[in-house]
């Protein structure tokens, strides 16, 4: 269905490993979707960057290996998209999302702001530049800060929880008639609002379809869920997702909700 993935794999990839990677990575990943870097630039990512799970079937992958494949998908992008964060009727925040093999940038205006994720070497270091100033690392105290009055935080954009060690597959679940891994990760530090995060990953596509973040008391405080996808040119990717802030009090009432929409490609 997505034959361009075969061209992104190392020349000496075994048939078994190729089938695993192609199955896991063939559709939209996380909030952003999938694009072939080679189709845009003529160059494939370095062969050494590809995860190596030769000889394993999908059913044999560990939780850490599943997350490693999700992270690897970030290196396949090379395209710009316009988007919108919409909270209620009053808050509408347009942005440009620039996806490259080595980085992801969220670019805002009024005031000028760039949130930059360095995806080289699997570091996912988070930087920020405001008003044209030099890019600097985001202070950990800002990880749980909401961006421009929306429900999206720095933690949500950076997806830091995908790098936390010792992930665990809790069970197999079904979301909207899709078979999913439910993967649980625990924060190894005290930075950010999430102590634990549950991630639902589609076993057929590798797409992260749902996430719930919990505070230190084990109460859910944020949830996001993919609502729809569509084709942008030759790419199938997520075009709308819902991000909800949940009250940690008993009952878990939704305090506010934001829609993140990908509107169009930017030529």
The three state secondary structure string of 114-142 is EEEEECHHHCCEEEEEECCCCCEECCHHH
Q: Bridge partners of 129? A: 114
Domain span including residue 98: 79-157
State CA 205 to chain mean position distance.
Answer: 14
For the chain, the maximum distance between any two Cα atoms, rounded to a whole number of angstroms, is 54
Q: Is residue 134 part of a domain?
A: yes
Work out how many domains the chain is built from and give that number: 1
205-243: per-residue pLDDT in tens? 777 889 999 999 999 999 989 888 776 666 666 788 999
Q: Is residue 71 part of a domain?
A: no
pLDDT score recorded for residue 234: 61
pLDDT score recorded for residue 51: 60
Q: Is residue 123 part of a domain?
A: yes
Question: Which region holds residue 144: left if phi is over 0, alpha if psi is between -120 and 50, else beta?
Answer: alpha
Closest by CA position to 233, among listed 260, 267, 210, 256: 267
Per-residue pLDDT of the chain in tens (267 residues, 90 and over written 9): 222 222 222 333 344 443 334 333 433 333 333 333 333 333 333 444 556 565 677 777 888 888 877 776 666 668 888 999 999 888 999 999 888 888 889 999 999 999 998 877 666 789 999 998 899 999 999 999 999 999 999 988 888 888 888 899 999 999 888 899 999 999 998 889 999 999 998 887 777 889 999 999 999 999 989 888 776 666 666 788 999 999 988 778 999 999 999 887 776
pLDDT score recorded for residue 74: 60
State CA 84 to chain mean position distance.
Answer: 17
As a whole number of angstroms, the distance between CA 13 and CA 138 comes to 37
Q: Is residue 203 part of a domain?
A: no
The reported pTM is 0.74
Q: Is residue 117 part of a domain?
A: yes
């Amino acid at each position: 269905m997505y034959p361009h993935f075969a061209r992104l794999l190392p020349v000496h990839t075994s048939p078994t490993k190729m089938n695993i990677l192609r199955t896991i990575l063939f559709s939209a990943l996380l909030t952003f979707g999938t694009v072939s870097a080679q189709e845009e630039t003529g160059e494939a990512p370095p062969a050494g960057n590809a995860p190596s799970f030769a000889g394993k079937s999908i059913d044999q992958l560990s939780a850490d290996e599943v997350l490693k494949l999700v992270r690897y998908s970030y290196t396949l992008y090379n395209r710009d998209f316009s988007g919108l964060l919409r909270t209620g009727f009053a808050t509408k925040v347009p942005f440009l999302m620039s996806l490259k093999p080595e980085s992801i940038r969220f670019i805002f205006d009024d005031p000028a702001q760039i949130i930059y994720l360095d995806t080289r070497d699997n570091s996912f270091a988070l930087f920020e530049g405001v008003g044209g100033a030099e890019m600097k690392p985001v202070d950990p105290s800002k990880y749980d800060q909401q961006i421009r009055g929306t429900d999206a935080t720095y933690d949500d954009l950076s997806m830091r929880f995908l790098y936390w060690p010792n992930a665990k597959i809790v069970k197999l679940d079904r979301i909207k008639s899709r078979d999913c891994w439910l993967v649980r990760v625990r924060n190894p530090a005290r930075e950010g609002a999430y102590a634990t995060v549950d991630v639902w990953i589609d076993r057929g596509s590798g797409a992260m379809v749902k996430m719930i973040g919990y505070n230190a008391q084990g109460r859910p405080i944020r949830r996001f869920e993919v609502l729809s996808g569509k084709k942008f040119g030759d790419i199938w990717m997520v075009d709308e997702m819902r991000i909800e802030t949940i009250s940690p009090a008993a009952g878990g009432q939704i305090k506010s909700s934001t829609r993140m929409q990908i509107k169009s490609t930017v030529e």
